[in-house]
Amino acid sequence: MIIYNSMIIWIAVLGIFNHLAMQTRRKPFVTNLEESQHKVSMFLAIFTFGYIIFWVGMRSGVADTRAYITAFESYPSSLSTISQYWNFSETKSPGFVTFNILFKHFISTDYHVWLMTIAILTGIPIMIILRKRSENFFYSAFLFMTSLLFSWMLNGMRQFWAASLIFLVSGWIEKRKTICFIIAVLFASTIHYTVLIMIPMYFIAVAKPFGKRVMLLMILVLLAVVFLEPFIATIEKVLEETAYSGATEQFAYDDGVNPIRVLVMAVTPMIAFCGRKIIAQKNNAFINICVNMSVICVGIYFLGIFTSGVLVGRLPVYFELYNIILLPYLLKECFTKESSKIMFILCTVGFLGFYYLQTQNYYYISEFTGLLSGWSI
């Protein structure tokens, strides 16, 4: 567990260092006091996420990494071949393929450079938004690790890249720039088509937290559980003649989302529900969006228990990123000073326990780390 555990230790050490610096300096690491009283410097933010990105980019055989490497090596480097991949009925991710071809043509055919580049392009957008929006950057980074969001950078990196790009433009949701947001989603869908779910969910996200629109969504999730079988049959017919033909067959071989994960993900929206009066009183537009995203996240995860961890269970990644901004805010704003400390400890211990239970079979393989390569996470 040395590689991944070291990421958590790194975050904790830098967080403690920053905290101590704040006690001894007047305005340490704060770059724009008018915009935010809790923002760390860009240098420290990069230093924090840079460590995670480094190890993600250095891997060579974790989870589905080898399959991605094989695909990358099979792609041509000739620009003239790009057009043949823009047939949506045959290619699920033309944008991703195009990026790979351009990368091989202009930058490098070495997959090590390619993996590191994608790690940077995925990690930096998340770092930017956490630095800008989180009440506690280091605790959000801690949650990024212990809630296992980081594992998406190792397994399912194409989908997580799409998720990080949409997370980067989350301010457009707050500003109600609907057209711009939809265009961004359509662009990201060329990397992974599942990001299209963000278009209908946009209209839920901008609704009043725990309002009628959000509650209607929860009712629809419950109905989906009840009428799941005919729904899947309908989807199967729609997909029959496309590149996704047979995708729903995975339901038969997948036992769904782990209920423990659903319970853990439900913690944040439950706290938000308990503090809904305070949330309504403060009426922070972005936090309201985070609350709705958190509710959507747990709703889809709940549906995933009865369906597929591979298909449905992958969709919440687009919403779960908002949890790591929301929870630090709730711990600060929805409790008294003393109860906030208690809840902080409970959440920290709880997420560490979840991390420990879920990572027993994780591993890390790299061609550059010697003995570390064979150690399990």
DSSP label of 363: B
Amino acid at 228: L
Helix (H, G, I), strand (E, B) or coil at 86: coil
Residue 54 lies in a domain: yes
Average pLDDT for the chain: 86
Count of structural domains within the chain: 2
Reported as a single tens digit per residue, the pLDDT across 259-281 is 899 999 999 999 999 999 999 99
- Clarify whether residues 87 and 202 are in a common domain: no
Percent of the chain with pLDDT over 70: 83
Reported as a single tens digit per residue, the pLDDT across 148-193 is 999 999 999 999 999 999 999 999 999 999 999 999 999 999 999 9
Please give the Cα distance from 131 to 127 (Å, whole number).
6
Please give the Cα distance from 329 to 286 (Å, whole number).
11
Helix (H, G, I), strand (E, B) or coil at 68: helix
In this prediction, residue 267 carries a pLDDT of 95
Q: Does residue 85 contact residue 97 with C-beta atoms inside 8 Å? A: yes
Pick from 140, 119, 121, 120: which is nearest to 130 by CA? Answer: 140
356 pLDDT exceeds 80? yes
Region 30-45: what's the mean pLDDT? 65
Q: Could you give the angle at the alpha carbon of 157 between the alpha carbons of 154 and 160, nearest 5°?
A: 115
Residue 275 lies in a domain: yes
Residue 370 lies in a domain: yes
Q: How confident is the model at residue 32 (pLDDT cuts 50, 70, 90)?
A: very low
In this prediction, residue 313 carries a pLDDT of 74
In this prediction, residue 369 carries a pLDDT of 74
Domain range for 31 is 1-168+361-377
Residue 77 lies in a domain: yes
Please give the Cα distance from 13 to 140 (Å, whole number).
14
- Clarify whether residues 330 and 369 are in a common domain: no
Residue 177 lies in a domain: no
Residue 186 lies in a domain: no
Neighbours of 119 (CB within 10 A): 22
Region 6-23: what's the mean pLDDT? 91
- Clarify whether residues 153 and 243 are in a common domain: no
- Clarify whether residues 7 and 92 are in a common domain: yes
- Clarify whether residues 146 and 246 are in a common domain: no
253 pLDDT exceeds 90? no
Residue 355 lies in a domain: no
Whole-structure pTM value? 0.89
Please give the Cα distance from 155 to 133 (Å, whole number).
26
In this prediction, residue 330 carries a pLDDT of 97
Please give the Cα distance from 171 to 215 (Å, whole number).
24
- Clarify whether residues 139 and 256 are in a common domain: no
In this prediction, residue 99 carries a pLDDT of 97
Residue 151 lies in a domain: yes
